[in-house]
Chains A and B, each alone.
Chain A
Amino acid sequence: MAEPRIENGVVIDDTFAEAFPMKATRLIITAHNPTWAMHAATATTGFATSVIACGCEAGIERVLSPGETPDGRPGVAVLIFSMSGKELAKQIERRVGQCVLTCPTTAVYAGLDEGEPVALGRNLRFFGDGWQISKMIDGKRYWRVPVMDGEFVAEETTAVTKGVGGGNLLILARDTDTALAAAEAGVAAMRSVPNVIMPFPGGVVRSGSKVGSKYPALMASTNDAFCPALTPLAKKSELSDEVRCVMEIVIDGLTDADVSAATRAGMDAIIARGSAAGVVRLSAGNYGGKLGPFHFHLHKLLDGEGAA
């Protein structure tokens, strides 16, 4: 690691977050009122923290006003990322089928215009048992499936585009309280950036992982270099004694520029609180730059540059 940089008392490591290409889509979920739209969006993006075991990474991008949705009702935009288009298509069908189709008053639409179309309502229509209605409106096909509260309207397809997954920011703090507060401030700032999600609970992950394990069956295991419990034990710890709690924010975005903007927003928010708020260092996770093509250098981001 090269020379660190200090901003408002917080040490910024001269390192980079390493991210990977993914497949992504945006869905717009609307409902009779904001509460039910959020119920559906929350369920749809549940158990979607990591592709390691969830099949996809998903999150709520933002709440939409009625003026921003196709049917003029309150809505929520969600982003879903997966490692392949095929897996993403499977996840979309399962999640929309079980979490949106089932949720009272909802409808679902594609949230991206450009990209390869994959099924959204195309297969879910068969729930209609022959009573479903196809309707072409302004060049888009919608399916209207009779359900007990009226009809479920779903656009036939949603566009899948290339995305970027695995952007990250490590927050090294004095204790749990200060680490949590900094992480919450960082996530709040990142949520103001469009086209990104932070898929872990509350946007924060405490079990950062490294690739591989001593157990052959496991593809990932605890990031021992950043575990305070292992500071005196691990072969190569990244922590000093004053760091007693580390939190990580993982960022998925539609483009590397979006991930850059979110990372920068999170760093700015944490740095603004300063070392007096308990943050010792900001760092990032990578694999030496050999695995992922997107490198988000923390120093370059602070200088206004994007991903390398």
Chain B
Amino acid sequence: MSQACHLRLKHALPVGVDASTLLPERLATLSIDEIARLPLELGRDLVAVGDLFDISLREADGVELRFEGDCRKLHGVGRAMGEGRLVVDGPVGDQVGVEMRGGEIQVCGDAGDLAGGAMAGGRLEIGGSVGDFAASTLPGAMDGMRGGVLIVRGDAGDRFGDRMRRGVAVVHGRTGDFLASRMVAGTIALAGETGEHPGHGMRRGTLVFAGAQPRVPDTFSATHHDTRVFWALMARSLAPFGAPFDGLAARCPARVVGDLGADGKGEWMLPA
């Protein structure tokens, strides 16, 4: 049996807290006292985990960490996580799941900016909406999301998938401006509308517009060849994400490629 750790916020956080050191695999072998003594950065101060959270442990089938309470000022949750399961029973702050390599993170509420930034593996699911730069690069970095699966049940802000290099990102709501800007590879599937300038500077990769069809920019051109084999594989892969992605196989898509303004070969799939 493994250990599940529950951290319940004692009171609302006055300022942001970097929670990136609290990972399921790290806490799995520690006692309550050891966890309580772990340091956290609260603004410019150091505090102990036990000062902010009520801690409880129980046996579980797998390694698990659960945050309870209003965690909107808890940032960096699950950063570079490698294994196990992490659950946030509500909203969470910025940079959830950045650079994660494996395991599963489930956020039941909204998430801040940079959700899944530079994530390389695992599964990150946001029950609500995410801010800007989800699945994108971290400040100063060259690569965005480069592996794993990101699911956003709500809406996403601007620059979703900026410089994305690999992996699958699914948005059930709408996205803001500059969707998939400078995208290098990978797949983004969108159920709702998107904002201005989608695919700006897109080099490669696939954008699937399962819902509202965007206006195709002048820097994208249609191809008219038979893509049914690829589409069958892609549609089958996206079907488990539920409506409207589960009906894609029956909707033969139009395909445009670009951004030709950046010598790009990215593709938009526009199912009828």
Contacts and interface: CB of A to CB of B under 8 A. Distances in A.
Contacts of A72: 232, 236, 249
Contacts of A150: 225-227, 229
Contacts, number: 50
Nearest to A138: B237
B233 interface: yes
Interface string A148-160: 0111010000000
B21 to A, nearest CB: 30
B222 to A, nearest CB: 14
Contacts of B227: 150-151
A73 B226 CA distance: 14
A106 to B, nearest CB: 9
A264 interface: no
Contacts of A30: 229
A67 to B, nearest CB: 12
Contact of B229 (A73, A136, A138): A73
A226 to B, nearest CB: 48
Contact of A133 (B186, B204, B233): B204
A153 B233 contact: yes
Most buried by A among B226, B229, B232, B234: B229
A72 B232 CA distance: 7
A294 interface: no
Secondary structure type dominating chain A contacts: strand
Interface residues of B, number: 20
Given A72-B249, A134-B185, A136-B166, A107 B229 contact: yes
Contacts of B232: 70-73
Given A72-B249, A136-B166, A153 B230 contact: yes
Contacts of B175: none
Given A72-B236, A72-B249, A135 B206 contact: yes
B265 A133 contact: yes
Nearest to B226: A150
Interface string A108-141: 0000000000000000000000010111111000
Contact of A144 (B167, B187, B230): B230
A142 interface: yes
Interface string A44-64: 000000000000000000000
A261 to B, nearest CB: 32
A149 B228 CA distance: 12
A134 B265 CA distance: 11
Contacts of B186: 136
A69 to B, nearest CB: 9
Interface in B153-182: 166-167
A150 B204 CA distance: 19
Given A72-B249, A150-B226, A150-B227, A137 B233 contact: yes
Nearest to A152: B229
A11 B229 CA distance: 52
Question: Which 6 pairs show the lowest CB-CB distances between chains A and B?
Answer: A150-B226, A71-B232, A150-B225, A153-B229, A137-B237, A107-B229
25 contacts: A70-B233, A70-B236, A71-B229, A71-B232, A72-B232, A72-B249, A73-B232, A107-B229, A133-B267, A134-B185, A135-B234, A136-B166, A136-B186, A136-B187, A137-B187, A138-B237, A142-B230, A142-B233, A144-B230, A149-B226, A150-B226, A150-B227, A150-B229, A151-B229, A153-B233
Interface of B: 166-167, 185-187, 204, 206, 225-227, 229-230, 232-234, 236-237, 249, 265, 267
Given A71-B229, A137-B187, A137-B234, 18 more contacts: A70-B232, A71-B232, A133-B204, A136-B167, A137-B237, A138-B237, A142-B230, A144-B230, A149-B226, A150-B225, A150-B226, A150-B227, A150-B229, A151-B227, A151-B229, A151-B230, A153-B230, A153-B233
Interface of A: 30, 70-73, 107, 131, 133-138, 142, 144, 146, 149-151, 153
